[in-house]
Structure 1
Amino acid sequence: MSAALSPDSIRAIEHDCAKLVARYANRNDAADWEAVTALYAPEGRMARPTAPDDWITGREAILAAFKARPPRVTRHVCSNVEITVVDADTALGESAMLLFTGEGAPKVGSFHDRFVRLPDGWHFAERRGLLTF
């Protein structure tokens, strides 16, 4: 972590990045794919928990991937959010995820994130999901 950052700056970055994690879950559950996609950096990439090694890169491709999914009702519950500030423009994150779909057993997993600060604020540079069970 950069020695130049004050404790208040570090807390602000942690807060902003944790808020992205919550916003992602809420917009995903609302099927607001444009809002979800806007949370990524323009060349950001994501890998779904069901395919953690299958990267989708760029906002256009991410939006297309969400729109291609069959409609469903979901509720993502994210917790244990831990943000590590690397420097003034980069942070890493890990969070636990519980997914309810109304069909079958809930899915339990995690997200591993890399955040980047752009002129308009913090975004996901990378979001990788993993299923535990």
Structure 2
Amino acid sequence: MPAMPASRLEDEAACARLCIDFANHLDARRYERVLGLFTEDAALDRMGNVSQGRAEIARFLAGRPVQTTTRHVCSNIRVSFEGEPEGEAGGVCYVLFFQGADDADGGAPRLSGPPSVVEYHDRFRRTPDGWKIHSRRICMAIRA
């Protein structure tokens, strides 16, 4: 397999970073930063529940329960440019998902059940502000 040009490696790293930033900002409830990862006309499909555009994604984020803590652990991030139009890429990422109920005593949240594994199926687009998520489809891979 021939070596990838440096600019392509930088593009791949930027797209992979979107996966990690999404998980970190979502878990920390930095919702403005989550929104900034998406194109204006992005789609977020959470197992059939589709939010179209940043405004709808913002409504989904605002509706997340405040008494629940989540952790999304991303791995096996794969970004592909083959067969894609210029300035676009595809991607897939495995995500180990943990959810916990906040502890009334202020301690660490208690796990609400066993973790699940989901997959992010992404379409990335280069914008004047850098690479952004144009669409994300979240699919259950292994149910708790």
TM-score normalised by length of structure 2: 0.83
Match 1:56 to one of 51, 63, 66? 51
For 1:14, the aligned partner's letter is E
Whole-angstrom CA distance in 1 between matches of 2:117 and 2:36: 25
TM-score normalised by length of structure 1: 0.89
Let me know the Cα RMSD of the aligned residues. 1.2
Pair 1:37-2:51 in alignment: no
Whole-angstrom CA distance in 2 between matches of 1:115 and 1:55: 17
Structure with the greater relative contact order (CA < 8 A, sep ≥ 6): 1 or 2? 1
3-state secondary structure, aligned to 1:101: strand
In structure 1, stretches of 5+ residues that fail to align are 1-5
Q: Which residue of 1 aligns with 2:26?
A: 28
Q: Which residue of 2 aligns with 1:12?
A: 10
Aligned residues with identical type, % of pairs: 36
Whole-angstrom CA distance in 1 between matches of 2:131 and 2:91: 13
Runs (4+) off by over 2 Å: none
3-state secondary structure, aligned to 2:8: helix
Q: Which residue of 2 aligns with 1:74?
A: 70
Deviations 1:69-100 (A, max 9, x none): 21221110000000002354101000000011
Match 1:111 to one of 104, 120, 125? 120
Match 1:121 to one of 130, 134, 140? 130
Q: Which residue of 1 aligns with 2:99?
A: 101
After TM superposition, the structure 1 stretch with the greater mean CA deviation from structure 2, 107-116 or 63-72, is 63-72
How many residues align? The count is 125
For 1:131, the aligned partner's letter is M
In structure 2, stretches of 5+ residues that fail to align are 101-111
Deviations 1:96-115 (A, max 9, x none): 00011121111111100000
Deviations 1:19-63 (A, max 9, x none): 010000000010111111111000001012xxx222211101101
